[in-house]
Amino acid sequence: MASKAKKVKKPTTLNEKIFNFVVYGLSILLILVIIYPLWFVIIASFSNPADVASGAVWFWPKSWSLKGYQVLFQQPLLWRSYFNTIFYTLAGTAFGLLVNIPVAYALTRKDLLGRKWISLLYVIPMFVTGGLIPIYLVTKNFGLLNTIWVMIIPFAVSPYNIIVARTFFQESIPEGLWEAAQVDGSGTIRYFFTIVLPLSKAILAVIGLWTAVGIWNSWFNALIYLTNPNLQPLQLLLRQLLIMNQTLQTQTTGAMASELAQTSQMMQYASIVISTLPIMLVYPFLQKYFNQGVMVGAIKE
């Protein structure tokens, strides 16, 4: 509550005024630099592609056109892959939390046998990975290739997230709490669900959001492990549309090259908008958890 009461001090000396002026000026500049590309993508998506390529569009849409969106929404697999992405994101995030959070908590418990060694086992793959081909073969041998599970199960465990969550548990949940709970007759499981988790909403939100954004934006796993177009996520579909014309000029002769190039160019900006918007809308709702920060004063020692 203390932070709310703090008022911005009015600048008194000239020196301070200049300092404030420079700081505000730079911040505004920085904000503009970050916002402009986003703004450009949005206006470009509503403009005639010819004007975008010729540089006529720079601040306001020119010759309004919804053609990009129109062509995009005509893509037969767009809705299907939109649905897939949402499903992978929801299921993948839930599964990610399910596997990472309990591990992170377990690793904070001093009574876990071989705690250090288990921690080490999680840390090693962060630095040394098997490489694409061995992982591909393992995935294949598990029969996960070309199933929805390949997007959810194999890459759910994230050592990085585990370490972050572990640190959170260590820092903000005092050990005394566990002893107090034991005195009141609670077992580990009950303690974890009724005390630890409710106190850790912030870290759940943070890890959840990281996982969700990661899955939402990922295309490489889908590219490698999925062949069935009905299973592909949105990002993979959009990537195909976007890079369609890169190599076409040399590879095709005839009418097909230009036909494909036109389609892809019209859809570029529109597809960026439709793929980024939903995940950006999630941020404000989770913002409060980020602000809430670590819990203070849950227990008096």
Interface positions with other proteins (CB under 8 A): 48-50, 53-54, 63, 76-77, 106, 111-114, 118, 132-133, 136-138, 140-143, 188, 223-224, 227, 229, 236-237, 239-240, 243-245, 247-263, 265
Min dist CB 191 to other proteins, Å, is 12
The nearer residue to other proteins, 12 or 250, going by C-beta atoms, is 250
Within 13 Å and on the Cβ side, how many CA atoms surround 118?
16
Min dist CB 252 to other proteins, Å, is 7
Within 13 Å and on the Cβ side, how many CA atoms surround 69?
12
What is the C-alpha separation between 283 and 287, in angstroms, rounded? 6
The nearer residue to other proteins, 186 or 240, going by C-beta atoms, is 240
Residue 86: how many CB atoms within 10 A of its CB? 14
Structure tokens at 64: 């309004």
Min dist CB 131 to other proteins, Å, is 10
Min dist CB 294 to other proteins, Å, is 27
Min dist CB 118 to other proteins, Å, is 7
The nearer residue to other proteins, 15 or 141, going by C-beta atoms, is 141
The nearer residue to other proteins, 240 or 276, going by C-beta atoms, is 240
Min dist CB 300 to other proteins, Å, is 25
The nearer residue to other proteins, 97 or 222, going by C-beta atoms, is 222
Structure tokens at 167: 């640190």
The nearer residue to other proteins, 109 or 288, going by C-beta atoms, is 109
